[in-house]
Amino acid sequence: MGLLEGKVCVVTGGAGSLGLAAARRFMAEGAEVVLSDLNMEGLETAQASLEGGKALLLPADVSSSADVMELAELIRERFGSIDVVFSNAGNFGAVAPIADYSETVFDSVYAVHVRGGFLLAKHLSPLMGRGGSFIITSSVAGVRGDPGVYAYITAKHAQVGLMRCLAKELAPRGIRVNTVHPGPVDNEFQLAVERGLGVEIGRDGTEFFNEMIPMGRHASSDEVARSVLYLASDLSAFTTGTTLMVDGGMSA
Ligand SMILES: NC(=O)c1ccc[n+]([C@@H]2O[C@H](COP(=O)([O-])OP(=O)(O)OC[C@H]3O[C@@H](n4cnc5c(N)ncnc54)[C@H](O)[C@@H]3O)[C@@H](O)[C@H]2O)c1
């Protein structure tokens, strides 16, 4: 029997690299999966790459209250209740000195990571009647600072605050809440950042990051997904309020 047999799991950022990798792991363990994302075309491409089952595809902008309420309603009509939420949608924003940092970019990054996580918890946790697991994708950027990365790093820290509040409120209902903190992943989200950095520092941005990682390399999306599966399943039955680093030792 799979680790998530009979469970319903909702994944945001489901058209992206980590969301899809987690959905694959969840489905392989017997879960029914709702894949949600801003990008409907991306969701259809993701669906086509899933083997051994179909996810329910529901487009939603996690920063929109109306979209998240509609998402919750559609999920309630289809499943009644849910067991796992993987709040994972993300955008990177920009890197700039504080005096030049765009307020618009700052707000747009907060809207996805912080407001998005808040809205998902507000509207989806009431559907987690039987207990369950709420997982938020923070980052190694949620536990360290770096110059210029104002929106992303502060938003990733704020997600930890949200997680800690939720963990305490929802524990009496048997709902566990944790953050997962990937280091650099070998996917387009990170590689785009590294290409920009490479131009700025005049050397290979990927190598620059690898030198900061004791294990000397990036994670694969599936390595992150396996840690998400641990938090989603009863393997972590007494784990709540924690920050799980999946960063090859970068934050050690
Ligand atoms: N890639 C890395 O190295 C890395 C490291 C640490 C943390 N993370 C975090 O992991 C999460 C997933 O990133 P990824 O690497 O899979 O990148 P990705 O770009 O492949 O996936 C992110 C997905 O989020 C979706 N999205 C963006 N804004 C949205 C919104 N408002 N509403 C709904 N969906 C939205 C995008 O359409 C995209 O499909 C993000 O929160 C990111 O910050 C990534």
Q: Which of 39-53, 104-118, 211-225 has the lowest mean pLDDT?
A: 39-53
- Separation of CA 152 and ligand 1 centre (Å): 11
Give residue ranges with CB within 6 A of ligand 1.
12-13, 15-19, 37-39, 42, 61-63, 88-91, 112, 116, 137, 139, 182, 184-185, 187, 189-190
Residue whose Cα lies nearest atom 25 of ligand 1: it is 13
Q: For a pLDDT cut of 70, what percent of the chain falls above it?
A: 100
Domain CATH for 38 = 3.40.50.720
Whether residue 197 is found in the same domain as residue 100:
no
Q: Quick check: 166 and 177 in contact, CB under 8 A?
A: yes
pLDDT score at 129 = 87
Question: pLDDT digit string (tens) for 152-162?
Answer: 999 999 999 99
Average pLDDT over residues 175-181: 98
> Is 251 among the domain residues?
no
- Whether the full predicted model's pTM is greater than 0.95, yes or no, is yes
Looking at every residue in the chain, the average pLDDT score rounds to 97
Residues 93 and 177 in one domain: yes
Round to whole Å and give the CA distance between 158 and 14. Answer: 22
Report in angstroms the alpha-carbon separations of 185 from 31, 133, 230: 25, 23, 18
Domain span at residue 43 reads: 8-183+220-246
Same domain, 89 and 114: yes
Give the model confidence (pLDDT) of 50-90 as tens digits: 987 899 999 999 999 999 999 999 999 999 999 999 999 99
Same domain, residue pair 194 and 128: no
Model confidence at 130: pLDDT above 80: no
Asked if 222 and 246 touch (Cβ cutoff 8 Å), the reply is: no
Residue nearest to atom 43 of ligand 1 (CA): 90
Q: Into how many domains does the chain fold?
A: 2
Identify whether 3 is part of a domain: no
CA 69 to ligand 1 centroid distance, Å: 21
Of 11, 18, 43, the residue with max ligand 1 atoms within 8 A of its CB, to mutate for a pocket test, comes to: 18
Q: How far does the centroid of ligand 1 lie from the alpha carbon of residue 230, in Å?
A: 20
Rounded average pLDDT over 202-226: 97
- Would residue 2 count as lying in a domain? no
Residues 25 and 105 in one domain: yes
